Amino acid sequence: MKNRVIFVTGCDSGFGRHFAVKCVKEGIPIFAGCFTDEGCKNLENETRTFPGKLWTISLDVTNDESVKDAYNFVKKNIEPDQFLWAIVNNAGAATSFGPDEWVSIEQYKKAFDINTLGIIRCVHEPVINGNINTFTTTKNFRKELQPWGIKCILFEPGACNTNLVSDHERWCNLTELCWENLDDSLKLQYGAIYKQELIDYWCNILSTFASRINRVDYVVDAYFHAVTSKYPRPRYIIGIDANLLYIPLSFFPTRLQDWISSFFPGSLISTLPMALKLRKDDKSSLHKL
> Using CA atoms, how far apart are residues 147 and 133, in angstroms rounded to an integer?
12
Residue 87 has pLDDT above 80, yes or no: yes
* Surface-to-core class of residue 2, CB atoms within 10 Å of its CB (0-12 exposed, 13-18 middle, 19+ buried): middle
Q: What is the DSSP string of 155-183?
A: EEE----SHHHH-HHHHHHHHHHHHHTS-
Please give the model's pTM, rounded to 2 decimal places: 0.84
For residue 258, being part of any structural domain is answered with no
Q: Both 138 and 278 in a single domain?
A: no
* Polymer length of the chain: 289
> Using CA atoms, how far apart are residues 243 and 51, in angstroms rounded to an integer?
35
Q: Both 191 and 105 in a single domain?
A: no
pLDDT reported for residue 271: 65
For residue 289, being part of any structural domain is answered with no
For residue 206, being part of any structural domain is answered with yes
Q: Both 221 and 200 in a single domain?
A: no
Amino acid at 122: C
Q: Both 188 and 143 in a single domain?
A: no
Regarding predicted confidence, which is higher, 260 or 162?
260
> Using CA atoms, how far apart are residues 43 and 37, in angstroms rounded to an integer?
10
Q: What is the pLDDT of residues 257-286, one digit of tens each?
A: 988 887 776 555 556 787 777 776 655 554
Three-class secondary structure of residue 144 per DSSP: helix
Are 150 and 134 contacting, i.e. CB atoms less than 8 angstroms apart?
Answer: yes
For residue 256, being part of any structural domain is answered with no
Element (H, E) at 30: strand 30-34
Q: Both 78 and 119 in a single domain?
A: yes
- Least confident stretch, 150-154, 209-213, 236-240: 209-213
Are 81 and 3 contacting, i.e. CB atoms less than 8 angstroms apart?
Answer: yes
Residue 132 β-bridge partners: 84
The DSSP secondary-structure symbol of 116 reads: I
pLDDT reported for residue 268: 53
For 119, the domain range is 4-160+214-251
Three-class secondary structure of residue 84 per DSSP: strand
Residue 187 has pLDDT above 70, yes or no: yes
For residue 247, being part of any structural domain is answered with yes
For residue 257, being part of any structural domain is answered with no
Q: What CATH number is given to the structural domain containing 98?
A: 3.40.50.720
Q: What is the pLDDT of residues 212-256, one digit of tens each?
A: 677 889 999 999 999 999 899 989 999 888 899 889 999 999 999
Q: Both 48 and 124 in a single domain?
A: yes
Residue 8 has pLDDT above 60, yes or no: yes
Q: What is the pLDDT of residues 18-70, one digit of tens each?
A: 999 999 999 999 999 999 999 999 999 999 999 999 999 999 999 999 999 99
Q: Both 145 and 176 in a single domain?
A: no
For residue 73, being part of any structural domain is answered with yes
Q: Both 172 and 151 in a single domain?
A: no
Q: Both 202 and 129 in a single domain?
A: no
User: What's the structural domain count of the chain?
Assistant: 2
Q: Both 16 and 123 in a single domain?
A: yes
Q: Both 53 and 85 in a single domain?
A: yes
For residue 141, being part of any structural domain is answered with yes
Distance of alpha carbon 70 from its chain centroid, rounded? 21
Q: Both 190 and 178 in a single domain?
A: yes
**Nearest to residue 35, comparing CAs of 53, 17, 47?**
17
* Surface-to-core class of residue 277, CB atoms within 10 Å of its CB (0-12 exposed, 13-18 middle, 19+ buried): middle
